Amino acid sequence: MYKKILVPMDISSTDDTILGYIRPLARFTGASLVLVHVSDGFAARLQNQLNLADSQEVRKDREYLEGIAARLKGEGFDAHCHLLMGDPVEGILGLVNEEGCDLIAMATHGHDHIADWFFGSVADGLRHKTDIPILMIRSPQKGMK
C-alpha cells in the first residue's frame, strides 16, 4: 500500500491533528514518514540573498521539525524531516519526487471564505499538481468540538 508518506507541517495545532491520523496508517502499512515544513517568514524568504539560513526563525522551525521526527522515531517509526524555503507547493512537490513518496497527508485549517482562498492555497495547489493521493484532514477550529 503506502511505503513513504509525506507530511507537510505548518508548525501549529494542525500538526497534532494530522499526526494523530497518520500514526495508525503508517504503523499498519509500515510506511516511513517524511516531515516537511516550508518556512515562509521574512528570514526564510530572504535567506539566500541575506545569508539568513541560521536566523532565529529558521532555527526555531528546524528545532520543531527535528523534535517531532525524534519523537516519532522514539515511537518506532522510520521518520525524518526537511526544512525548505520558498514556494510551499513547489517545494513539497519537489520533495515528493525526490523522496519517492506515494501519499501526501496534511491537515487543513477549515477557514471560511477569503481565509479559505488564502490558507487553502497550498492544499489546493497540491491537489491540482500531483497524481499521488492526498489525505486531507480538517483540523478542529478553536471553539469547535
* Burial status of residue 114 (CB atoms within 10 A of its CB: 0-12, 13-18, 19 or more): exposed
Please state the pTM of the whole predicted model: 0.84
CA dist., res. 128 & res. 92, Å (int): 13
pLDDT band at 143 (very low <50, low <70, confident <90, very high): very low
Residue 133 above 90 pLDDT?
yes
- Measured CA to CA in angstroms, residue 90 lies from 83, 113, 123, 140, 144 at distances of 13, 24, 12, 27, 32
Provide the 3-class DSSP secondary structure of residue 11.
coil
pLDDT band at 127 (very low <50, low <70, confident <90, very high): confident
pLDDT band at 53 (very low <50, low <70, confident <90, very high): low
CA dist., res. 119 & res. 97, Å (int): 24
Query: Which residue intervals of the chain are DSSP H helices?
Result: 13-29, 42-50, 56-74, 88-99, 114-119, 121-129
- The closest of 25, 33, 35 to 1, measured between CA atoms, is 25
Q: In one letter, which amino acid is 68?
A: I
- For the chain, the domains span 4-138
Is the CB of residue 25 less than 8 Å from the CB of residue 137? no
Report the alpha-carbon angle 141-41-5, nearest 5. Answer: 60
What CATH number belongs to 4-138? 3.40.50.620
CA dist., res. 5 & res. 53, Å (int): 27
Residues 16-49: tens digit of each pLDDT = 999 999 999 999 999 999 999 998 766 555 555 5
CA dist., res. 92 & res. 10, Å (int): 12
